[in-house]
Amino acid sequence: MRTEGQTLYAADVTGVSSLGKFYVEHERGLIGTGAVLTFLLAWEAVTRSRLVDPLFLSSPTLIVRAGYELFAEGTIWRDLRVSGTEFVVGYLMAAGVAIPLGLALGWYRRLYFCLGPFIDVLNAVPRVALLPVIIIWFGIGVWSKIVVVFLGAVIPMLINTFSGVKTTEERFLKVARSFGASELKIFWTIVFPGTVPFIFTGLKYAAGRALLGVVVGELYAATAGIGFLITVSGATFQTDKVFVGILIVTTTGVLVVELLDRLERRFEGWRPKVGSAT
């Protein structure tokens, strides 16, 4: 989302004092940090002054303390392990199904015609609406969450892999066919490499969906996990613990997306530039 628009705002840094220069050079970081600090201080002040009951809103220091206690007592490790297992197993299963299937759907037109309607419908339904049925089928243990994660993650991976195959440069295929390359060779040396960046984009979108699946699945019905921690703490008005859970989820989301971002940039050079094709 953060595309380059920097050229629109070329700041003039000549002829200002060194303090001003420092500010201008680090403006983005300074303003961002300032805004976050102001927000945290205001939050702390509101609860400290008893303007709002801490039971209701908690406060940054209370959250830090609750987080420290949860990790020190070690009760949280079990929740982390359960949520982590659900996320990893569901996500890997989705990748294991979606990437080969997506490649096949892009390569075999008739297969796409057959399965297309199902993919379109699944894509339009928030998969979490299936939770009550999934609970009936798989119970409230780990497996129901794995299925929700799988369903959430499989669609974006599938659609991106498919469109990766579909956007293969037509000219490359023509050249390869002119030189009598076998279909298998065309697939592995032209189609698949061109699809890799798309697969990574799909993996990145899917990470968010998978995280949503874990959290919602555990909020809805579970016996352990971070979402379970959040919902139990919420039901018992331990707002600070709720925030600890949310922070853990957010951190995980940021880390996973960052990791996949790096992998994606690594393969970015392969992406066919659709706009500038001549």
User: In whole angstroms, how close is the CB of 41 to another protein at the nearest point?
Assistant: 15
User: In whole angstroms, how close is the CB of 180 to another protein at the nearest point?
Assistant: 27
**179 phi/psi in degrees, rounded to 5:** -90, 10
Residue whose CB is less far from another protein, 15 or 29: 29
Amino acid at 25: E
**Contact call for residues 260 and 207 (beta carbons, < 8 A):** yes
Residue whose CB is less far from another protein, 104 or 181: 104
Q: At which residue do the structure tokens 């880390």 appear?
A: 255
Residue whose CB is less far from another protein, 23 or 172: 23
Return the biggest CA–CA distance within the chain: 78
Residue whose CB is less far from another protein, 72 or 274: 274
User: In whole angstroms, how close is the CB of 8 to another protein at the nearest point?
Assistant: 6
- Angstrom distances, CA of residue 96 to CA of 23, 103, 110, 149, 259: 49, 12, 22, 13, 19
**Cα–Cα–Cα angle for 260, 266, 269, nearest 5°?**
125
User: In whole angstroms, how close is the CB of 249 to another protein at the nearest point?
Assistant: 5
What are the residues binding another protein (CB under 8 A)?
1-5, 7-9, 27-28, 31-32, 34-36, 39, 56, 110, 113-118, 120-121, 124-126, 128-133, 135-137, 208, 211-212, 215-216, 219-220, 227, 230-231, 233-235, 237, 239, 242-243, 245-246, 249-250, 253-254, 257, 273-276
User: In whole angstroms, how close is the CB of 273 to another protein at the nearest point?
Assistant: 5
User: In whole angstroms, how close is the CB of 262 to another protein at the nearest point?
Assistant: 16
For residue 32, the Cα-to-chain-centroid distance in whole angstroms is 23
DSSP 38-80: HHHHHHHHHHHTTSS-HHHH--HHHHHHHHHHHHHHTTHHHHH
Residue whose CB is less far from another protein, 5 or 15: 5
Residue whose CB is less far from another protein, 114 or 175: 114
